[in-house]
Amino acid sequence: MGLNFTSKFSLTLMTKKEKLQFVIDSLEELYPEVPIPLEHYSPFTLLVAVVLSAQCTDKRVNEITPSLFAKADTPEAMVKLSVEEIAEIIRPCGLTPMKSKGIHGLSEIILKEHNGQVPASFEALEAMPSVGHKTASVVMSQAFGFPAFPVDTHIHRLMYRWGLTNGSSVVQTERDAKRLFPKELWNKLHLQIIFYGREYSPARGLRLEKDFITARIAPPKIIKELSTKS
């Protein structure tokens, strides 16, 4: 069972504002500290790790990056490796041709266009190969402290389950998250939601008696839908 919040929230039907505060308070109680899941030690190593994380678990990425970064942890060193050499190291992460070409290509761009430094700009990051908006958002928030709300599968799933978005797209989910939650919380809150999703509200094998946030604030329609699936 999750945390036992004996407040006005548990006694009455919640307004949207109260639901949001319940989410914020619950996640802060559970995860006062939120370590960044992908191991890195510079904006460049974070960028590479996030590229590798596409359709790959953070655990697997963290097993692969030490070997890669031992050979190349800067753009200068990375471009000295061939695409094939990069591919051989990162193969367990999947999507190997795309990721190896992307990592080599973005390293060249960083050297040629940004003086060897990862740019702190959404526009510049998203112009690089293998770097989409989510990847750029992670780098901007976690490497540079810029307010961003990267939406991964956990956040997309939980925002829908909590009735805070219609689930139509990750673009809509990000828009709703930014509209509903205070900007000063975005960088920490998106990680807290990810941790909660992994521990309490998985895509499969959901147990509402454990997923206490969903059980408390989800609209009846979604509770019925989830109960049918579980």
Which residues does the annotation mark as catalytic?
Answer: 134, 152
Spatial contact of 34 and 188, defined as CB atoms under 8 Å apart? yes
CA 183 to chain centre: 16
Burial classification of residue 21, based on how many CB atoms lie within 10 Å of its CB (0-12 exposed, 13-18 middle, 19 or more buried): middle
Q: What is the 3-state secondary structure of 186-202?
A: HHHHHHHHHHHHHHCCC
CB hemisphere CA count around 139 (13 angstroms): 28
Report the candidate in 194, 205, 82, 81 with the shortest Cα–Cα distance to residue 134.
194
